[in-house]
Homo-oligomer: A and B are copies of this chain.
Amino acid sequence: MGRSVINEAIVAFRAHTPSRRLAGGAPESHFRRVPSRSFPAISRDLVAIGRRFYARGWVQGTSGNFSEVVSRKPLRLAITASSVHKGQMRSTHILQMNEAANASGAGKQVPSAEARLHLEIVRRRGAGAVLHTHSIWGTILSGSVPHRDVVTIDGFEMLKGLSGVRTHEHAELIPIVENDQDMSRLADVVGETLDRNPSAHAFLLRRHGLYTWGDTLADAERHVEILEFLFETIGRSATFRPMGGEE
């Protein structure tokens, strides 16, 4: 039966089968063969995504950050610079970063402050791209019920936009992680959360925003659009009282 609830019978952390990833790394065999792309092409697409997300109101102020894997060995990511307005970027705002979150040749610019979270996701999930947005509905849902640690969404056709999901009769669990200014500590919690929820396509940082990823940048963007659509649908449904008195 299709219904959407926010964390009804799933208050405690779900017990999942042990992670099939080695702590700290993802098996090479997990990486879908995705052709590597040139840095200029990646930069152009990250800049374009910024414009599209800005038009939606998902990266206001200097919020949000995006990355794409340039190479795996050594690990190099293209990532948005810190403190840049993501709706007004140019290619010069996309930096190349190593596995220690350091970017060389970036002048005064530094990688996104949340670069460590991108690295955690790339390593644990073998993601090819990571996108982080701050939307109104994502922010509301992530904080509306204190201590709830997951948003559960099921029954919607839109769920089929998430990689590997083939039916609307799918229950997507989106863990909520407590926000933290200590990025090292937060990266650890994010890593543990990813390991405990191997099927999750995304997680929310409480009163902060959405993190999602994909094998390709296009997959990651599709995930953002699908999840933001579902957050808004659930959010608006929560205050919807259909005529006729029934709920």
For residue A156, CB closer than 8 A to chain B, the reply is: yes
A4, B226: Cα distance in complex, Å: 28
Any B CB within 8 A of the CB of A95: no
- Whether A240 contacts B240 by the Cβ 8 Å rule is no
Residues of chain A whose beta carbon lies under 8 Å from any beta carbon of chain B: 1-8, 56-57, 60-63, 85, 134, 136-137, 139-140, 143-146, 155-158, 161, 166-169, 179, 181, 205-209, 218, 222-223, 225-226, 228-229, 232-244, 246
**Contact of B158 with A139 in the complex, beta carbons under 8 Å:** yes
Is A2 a contact of B235 with CB atoms below 8 Å? no
- B residues within 8 A CB of A179? 2, 157, 168
Task: Contacts A85-B222, A136-B233, A168-B179 given; indicate if A157 touches B209 (C-beta within 8 A).
Answer: yes
**Nearest CB to that of A9 among chain B residues?**
B244
Are B207 and A2 touching (Cβ within 8 A)? yes
If A143-B155, A208-B157, A226-B61 touch, whether A241 touches B238 (CB-CB below 8 Å) is yes
Contact B242 A136 (CB under 8 A): no
When the two chains form their complex, are residues A136 and B222 in contact, meaning their CB atoms are under 8 A apart? no
Bound CA–CA A241/B75 (angstroms): 44
Chain B nearest Cβ from A233, distance in angstroms:
5
Q: Is the CB of B168 within 8 A of A242?
A: no
Let me know if B6 and A225 touch, CB within 8 A: no
A56 to B167 Cα, complex, angstroms: 25
Cβ–Cβ contact B168 & A207, under 8 A: yes
| Additional 16 contacts, C-beta under 8 A, given A8-B243, A157-B179 | A2-B143, A7-B244, A8-B244, A60-B225, A61-B226, A63-B158, A134-B157, A136-B229, A136-B232, A137-B236, A139-B156, A140-B237, A145-B244, A155-B207, A156-B207, A168-B181
Q: Which residues of B contact A229 (CB under 8 A)?
A: 57, 60-61, 134, 136
Within the complex, the shortest CB–CB distance from A93 to chain B, in Å, comes to 13
> Which residues of chain B are within 8 angstroms of A139 by Cβ–Cβ distance?
156, 158, 233
Q: Which residue of B lies closest to A113 (CB)?
A: B160
Q: Are A6 and B242 in contact (CB under 8 A)?
A: yes
Residues of B within 8 Å of A206, CB to CB, are 2
